[in-house]
Chain A
Amino acid sequence: MESVGSIIMYLVIALSIILFSVLTVTTRKILRSATFLLFTLFATAALYFKLDYEFLGAVQIAVYAGGIVVLFVFSIFLTTHPGDSSEKLVSKKKVLGVFAALLTFAVAAFALLYRCGMALTKLPEMENPKMHEIGTALMGTGEYQYLLPFEAISVLLLACIIGGVVVARKR
Chain B
Amino acid sequence: MDITILYYLVPSLIMFCCGVYGFITRRNMIAMLISLELMLNAVDINFVVFNRFLYPENMEGMFFTLFAIAIAAAETALAIAIIINVFRSAKNISVSDLSKMKH
Contact = CB atoms under 8 A, between A and B. Distances in A.
Contacts of A97: 20-22, 24-25
B35 A156 contact: no
Contacts of A125: 56
Contact of A112 (B6, B57, B71, B77): B6
Given A75-B80, A101-B21, A149 B67 contact: yes
B98 interface: no
Range, interface on chain B: 35 or more
A124 B70 contact: no
A123 B38 contact: no
Contacts of A64: 37, 41, 69, 72-73
Most buried by B among A21, A98, A138: A21
A86 interface: yes
Range, interface on chain A: 35 or more
Given A68-B37, A97-B24, A163 B81 contact: yes
A41 B63 contact: no
Contacts of B11: 13-14, 17-18
Interface in A78-116: 78-79, 86-87, 89, 93-94, 96-98, 100-102, 104-105, 108-109, 112
Given A25-B25, A79-B87, A168-B81, A119 B4 contact: yes
Given A96-B25, A160-B77, A167-B85, A21 B38 contact: yes
Contact of B59 (A41, A137, A156, A160): A137
Contacts of B4: 119-122
Interface of A: 1-2, 6-7, 10, 13-14, 17-18, 21-22, 24-25, 30, 33-34, 37, 40-41, 44, 47-48, 51-53, 55-56, 59-60, 63-64, 67-68, 71-72, 75-76, 78-79, 86-87, 89, 93-94, 96-98, 100-102, 104-105, 108-109, 112, 118-126, 129, 133-134, 137-138, 144, 146, 149-150, 153, 156-157, 160, 163-164, 167-168, 170
B26 to A, nearest CB: 7
Nearest to A1: B2
Contacts of A164: 77-78, 81
Nearest to B52: A51
Contacts of A150: 67
A96 B23 CA distance: 11
B101 interface: no
A120 B64 CA distance: 24
